[in-house]
Structure 1
Amino acid sequence: MSFKKETPLANAVFWAARKGNLALLQLLLNSGRVDADCRDSYGTTALMVASYSGHYECVKELIMQGADINYQRETGSTALFFASQQGHHDVVKLLFEFGASTEFQTKDGGTALTVASQYGHSKVVDTLLKNGANVHDQLNDGATSLFLAAQEGHVTVIRQLLVSGAKVNQAREDGTAPLWMAAQMGHSEVVKVLLLRGADRDADRQDGSTALFKAALKGHSSVIEELLKFSPSLGLLKNGSTALHAAVMGGNLQSVLLLLGAHADPTLPNKNNELPADLTKSDRILKLLRPKIFNGDS
């Protein structure tokens, strides 16, 4: 967290808030020579600094001295946003006791809930939801709290959000759904939870790829195993290719084995009329795709 101090006294207030030096903070505020809401050129307040740093007593002192709880800095962030981002649950609860709002957004559309979800702070997420946070909050690109939690692999937060009504198939503006993102990142437990809660196994994004295709390309075998339990499409996708093509291109032997075991067709060409076997020089993978040829049969 960066900020610019405007005066020596404001500098001292920010330092005390950042370091958690309650005695110095009280001395400065009680002097009457510096305001509890002194700000830097970005609009950062001492309350934001103390909240970000997790100094409960300093946060409380600033509030009691009249600091504006819901003031937004230049980026749109508030003290609640910073406390939520850093996972300071006790500070979050304190801010709510004195009227913090969950409705304020940053310039990119972020809220206290989206950032707490992104960083996996489950206790904070629970408190935010209980205090009116909107589970459907979205960043400017359409990413929801559920999407961000899925991207980072935070299973507990994902369960909390789903129980609170998060839409399991709510995609980002580019068509990327939480399941697709979790598959790409290799978060097999997240993939499992999302599928059990009704995620569309064959949802594709704008480039025509599905979760299975991406997991196959990345070689995430554990994700492929979870997806195959829900019988995803093994045929030609909107991108003109198949998951088996992706697995071969990715070069992961286990991924190829899993897909062949699920009856993916090695004789199905892609839009360029290429077979999966045309996309690799690996003898080990070719032996799987062309067993008869390698056994000496025509």
Structure 2
Amino acid sequence: MEEENTKSLIKAIQQGELCSVRRQLNEQVNKQSVIYSHFGKSGDTVLHYAARYGHMNIVRYLVEELDMDIEVFNSDYKRAMHEAASMGHYECLRYLIARGAKIDCLKKADWTPLMMACTRQNLEVILELLDHGAEPMLQNKDGWNAFHIACREGDPAIIQHLLLAKPEVWKTKSKTGRTPLHTAAMHGCEDAVNILLESCSYEPDCKDSCGVTPFMDAIRNGHIGVAKLLLENHQASPCAVDILGAQPLHQASVTAQEKALSFLVGNLGIDVNARATKLELTALHYAAKEGHTSTINTLLALGADLHARDTKGRSVCFPALHMACIGQHAETVKTLLQLGLSDTEDNAGNKAREYAKKPHIREVFESLDI
């Protein structure tokens, strides 16, 4: 089929123009060859386009009049069922199911139609799939199931229906040990977190493979409301540590969540100079390493001590300066130097300059005559 004719056919399908689609296909010498052609990089067929745009009349025409196989898949093994579920086209989905489409067919990365429906928060489509035996416990390549995805999106009704359909689904973990509670906390879904805390039996401070807790996820993404829920209703610890010994305080410094830092220190009384136990780093170190100048100022306002000593008697401020240089963060380097750092202690300036690989970092030292 010529490229111009291909574009015309696809456009007619996208716009739902059945008469035009029928006419163009009737003009083809080998109609069956055309309907099973794979278009573009994705390798979609005409049935994929029809299901994606929800045009029932075209889907029915392709399946009933042209006897097209509803299980035809594209380059990612995606079928019409995936398209209808993903885009929330209830009537198309019902029709495909009635014609015998596989409920739990897998596309690339092992995604099912139910998983894709959960990304769109379409309860009607999800209930239709569940009513016809869709399995919420199936996992994709990352170990996520439909419930993890629903908790990421945060629709309370969908979460509750999945729990009704499969009460044990909350117990599942991803391949990195993350629970649906981690997912809901990370994405700031307060309603979802509430349901999970009320209906499920997660252990306080359950950790993933990196030692991260749901409270840490909430804090490092700036979701203070979720963090409060976990503190009040789940006895979460605000100073639990991950596998590197980093607390939520340190993680919030990495992601520059300044309101979360103020909440931890000002409301919860967390020590702003606390160290990550394995790396002996303070929140200032982490902020400097990432080049978060504003976060450094926030930490100083909260009482961070530039001249605190580590276990070997070294001043904290100089390693922070080194980290800023290693990260090539000129503005952060300038801020730390202007805070009063000099060569007088630990030969800090000379050591830091060794890490200044780019001219614009070295220029900072020169401009301040250090």
TM-score range, shorter chain: 0.7 to 0.9
Residues 26, 245 of structure 1: CA spacing in aligned structure 2 closer, same or farther, 3 A cutoff? closer
- Confirm whether residue 8 of structure 1 aligns to residue 34 of structure 2: yes
- Cα distance between partner residues in 2 of 1:248 and 1:40: 47
8 Å Cα contact 1:277-1:286 kept in structure 2? no
- Confirm whether residue 227 of structure 1 aligns to residue 264 of structure 2: yes
- Confirm whether residue 151 of structure 1 aligns to residue 191 of structure 2: no
Pairwise CA distance, 1:56: 0.6
- What letter is aligned with 2:245? G
| CA deviation string 1:29-84 (max 9, x = no partner) | 22362233333354322111110111010001111111111222342111101101
Residues 155, 275 of structure 1: CA spacing in aligned structure 2 closer, same or farther, 3 A cutoff? farther
- Cα distance between partner residues in 2 of 1:157 and 1:146: 8
* Aligned residue in 2 for 1:184: 220
* Aligned residue in 2 for 1:119: 153
Q: What is the CA RMSD across the aligned residues, in angstroms?
A: 2.9
8 Å Cα contact 2:239-2:270 kept in structure 1? yes
Pairwise CA distance, 1:150: 2.0
Residues 243, 81 of structure 1: CA spacing in aligned structure 2 closer, same or farther, 3 A cutoff? same
8 Å Cα contact 1:191-1:227 kept in structure 2? no
- Confirm whether residue 255 of structure 1 aligns to residue 295 of structure 2: no
Pairwise CA distance, 1:275: 3.5
8 Å Cα contact 1:247-1:256 kept in structure 2? no
Residues 125, 246 of structure 1: CA spacing in aligned structure 2 closer, same or farther, 3 A cutoff? same
* Aligned residue in 2 for 1:193: 229
Pairwise CA distance, 1:265: 6.4
- What letter is aligned with 1:144? T
TM score, norm. by length of structure 1: 0.81
- What letter is aligned with 2:132? F
* Aligned residue in 2 for 1:57: 91
Pairwise CA distance, 1:156: 2.0
TM score, norm. by length of structure 2: 0.66
- Cα distance between partner residues in 1 of 2:287 and 2:106: 47
8 Å Cα contact 1:25-1:58 kept in structure 2? yes
Out of 306, 309, 321, the position equivalent to 1:269 is: 309
- Cα distance between partner residues in 2 of 1:43 and 1:247: 44
Residues 45, 273 of structure 1: CA spacing in aligned structure 2 closer, same or farther, 3 A cutoff? same
- Cα distance between partner residues in 1 of 2:164 and 2:142: 24
- What letter is aligned with 1:203? A
Q: Which structure's CA Rg is the greater one?
A: 2
* Aligned residue in 2 for 1:207: 244
- Cα distance between partner residues in 1 of 2:98 and 2:311: 67
- What letter is aligned with 1:270? D
* Aligned residue in 2 for 1:162: 197
| CA deviation string 1:198-232 (max 9, x = no partner) | 11222111222100122245442321233243444
- Cα distance between partner residues in 1 of 2:108 and 2:298: 50
Q: Alignment partner of 2:109: what SS? A: coil
Q: Which has the higher helix share?
A: 2
| CA deviation string 1:103-157 (max 9, x = no partner) | 1111111111112222334432232222216112222111222212222222222
* Aligned sequence identity (%): 25
- Following superposition of structure 1 onto structure 2, how do residues 127-138 of structure 1 map, counting pairs within 5 Å? 127-132=161-166, 134-138=169-173
8 Å Cα contact 2:244-2:276 kept in structure 1? no
Q: Structure 2: any 5+ residue segments left out of the alignment?
A: 1-31, 37-44, 322-333, 341-370
Q: Alignment partner of 2:208: what SS? A: coil
- Cα distance between partner residues in 2 of 1:127 and 1:215: 34
Q: Alignment partner of 1:135: what SS? A: helix
Q: Structure 1: any 5+ residue segments left out of the alignment?
A: 1-5, 288-298
- Cα distance between partner residues in 1 of 2:126 and 2:46: 24
Pairwise CA distance, 1:170: 1.9
Residues 257, 143 of structure 1: CA spacing in aligned structure 2 closer, same or farther, 3 A cutoff? same
* Aligned residue in 2 for 1:77: 111
* Aligned residue in 1 for 2:127: 93
Out of 207, 210, 219, the position equivalent to 1:174 is: 210
Aligned residues: 278
Q: Alignment partner of 1:96: what SS? A: helix
